[in-house]
Structure 1
């Protein structure tokens, strides 16, 4: 049972991840353009994806120290186009990530999906700082983060997190409730 709800955004449904999404998402993740700035090993196997979705659908790490939120992003025509996800380590440390396939890019889907996720996490969990890292050459991701209100994180903060040497850390701050 998922510990987070279905979310709606204009022309999109954000469905809580389930093992049932694995086969359809496996096809989405076969898009080679997704891996331009991601890990070089390429798409995951279907078995790996099923196991990952089983873990992620529980909504928390095994020890309960992290809350996990994973939504599959579906257009209103029913096509699965990507995902958005967040990991809350603490109210001031919530990591976000997103992946959209090539057909989804340039239509505002990532912005609408991520906004719905951020709004939910703010309202429901009182997150005060969102974090994201992206490859410094990934102009699409940097532009998305900017549209979402993220700014480059201070060097001091960037030095306290484990990110790739080619990545840049971004943050979006919110006042405490």
Structure 2
């Protein structure tokens, strides 16, 4: 494992069924219909972005770091290998803990039409494995306590729920795996 002196940039990753493409602003028009579904906000709140909002968000996120440089932002679009369609996204926010280690806060969203096929778990595993080879010393995710599908993904990554709750979501952690 290489210690992080600066934040890594997302690289293309592949699994048996997916290509994880580093996020680009140009993904917005293709991604918009995948994420323009209020059901995706059942557990996280909010509402779908307009195309213009999504384009602006992707432009901002694709920069790879927070404006002050204190966080690394890694975002990938999930493209199905069999038909080339975008199916979702995975992301990691990297930051240094009080002890100086690098923690990665993970998230995943799969479009409703593509849910139930294991894409979130497959992509999250590829991302987690890549992060560990890039110096991430621990992985966490914040998951609504009733969101069983996301809890399943977290368990498959070796994360376990903690007693910490933030904004109604339970912090899951691999405790420095």
Q: TM class by shorter-chain length?
A: 0.7 to 0.9
Computed over aligned residues only, the root mean square deviation of the Cα atoms, in angstroms, reads 1.6
Structure 1 stretches of 4+ with a deviation exceeding 3 A read none
**Contact kept in structure 2, 1:33 and 1:101, CA below 8 Å:** no
Q: Which digits, 9 at most, give the CA deviation of each residue in 1:25-84, with x for residues without a partner?
A: 111111332122121x31011111111111111111111111100000010111101100
After the TM superposition, which residues 1-177 of structure 1 pair with which residues of structure 2 at under 5 Å, given as runs?
Answer: 3-39=9-45, 41-76=46-81, 77-90=83-96, 91-124=101-134, 126-153=135-162, 155=163, 158=164, 163-164=166-167, 166-174=168-176
Distance 1:129 1:148 in 2: 11
* Number of residue pairs aligned between Structure 1 and Structure 2: 165
**Contact kept in structure 2, 1:75 and 1:81, CA below 8 Å:** yes
**Contact kept in structure 1, 2:93 and 2:106, CA below 8 Å:** yes
Distance 2:9 2:137 in 1: 21
Specify the SS of the correspondent of 1:173: coil
**Contact kept in structure 2, 1:66 and 1:88, CA below 8 Å:** yes
Distance 2:107 2:161 in 1: 16
**TM-superposed deviation, 1:7:** 0.7
Normalised TM-score (structure 2): 0.87
